Chains A and B, each alone.
Chain A
Amino acid sequence: MATASPANPLDALDPALEHRVRLAIGVLLARHGEISFAAFKQQLQLTDGNLGSQLRKLEDAGYIALRRDFVERKPVTWYRLTATGRKAVDRHLKALQAVIASAQG
C-alpha cells in the first residue's frame, strides 16, 4: 500500500493498481458503484481467466468485495469497491497526476 508524500512520485503508486486492467476496474467501480463480471468482460474485452485473475488480486488486497445474485435465473457475480479500495484508487490517481506533473517538469 502507498505511503504519504514520498520524495519520488513513482513510490506513491499502488502496486495492486499498477496493472492497467486493475486500474480500469478500480476507476469503473469508483464511477458506477457495482458492476457484474459479464459487464467487466465486455467493457474491458478480456477472457474469463484473465479478468478473474485480476479481480482476485484486487479482492486479495481488500480493495473489492463481491456478492452473488441471480438475474433472470442466471447466476451473476457483482463487484464493488470497499472503503479501503476507494481510498486506494483515489490515492493512486493522485500519485499518477504527480508522476505526470513531474515528467512535464
Chain B
Amino acid sequence: MTADKSRGGGGSSRSQSEGDGEGRSVSKALLFLAWLIPGLGHWILGKRVRALVFASVIFAAFVTGVVLDGEIAVPQQNSPLSWFFALGCLGNGILYLLRLVWVNGLDGLLSSAFPYGLHGGGDPVAAGFFYGKTFLYTAGLMNLLVVLDVHDIGIGEKS
C-alpha cells in the first residue's frame, strides 16, 4: 500500500498539478494502519529505520507504563476531560485495545455500559501508578504524532 496521489473523496476541486505536494492526499487505510500498529505507516512508505525506531520507542514506553502499574485512560461518566485523556491514550493503537481486552475481558468490552463501564487497569496505590500513566499517555501521543508524520510524508511535505 502506498500513498495515494490522487484526490480522495469529498468533492474537492483543487488541482493536483500545481507543484510538489499540492493536491496530494494519503490513503485513509495507510493512516489507519499507522495508528493501529506503531511504525507500520513509515514501514509501508519505505522509511524502515524510522519505522523501527518509532515502534521500539512507543512499545517500550507502553510496556514501561504497564509494568509500573499505570492506568490507561478510559472515558468516565460526568467527566468530559476523561475523553481527551482517553483519546490521547487511544493513540497507542492496538496496544491500547489489547490492554483494554486484557483488563476488561471481551465480556467487559461488550457490556451494555460501554464505553463507561471500562477499567483502565493499573494499581492506584502502587508507587509507579502516576509514572506509569505518564508513560502510557506519552506513548499514545507519540504515536499520534507518528500518524501525522506519515500524513506529511504521504502528501510530500516531508521526505
Do A and B make up one complex?
A: no
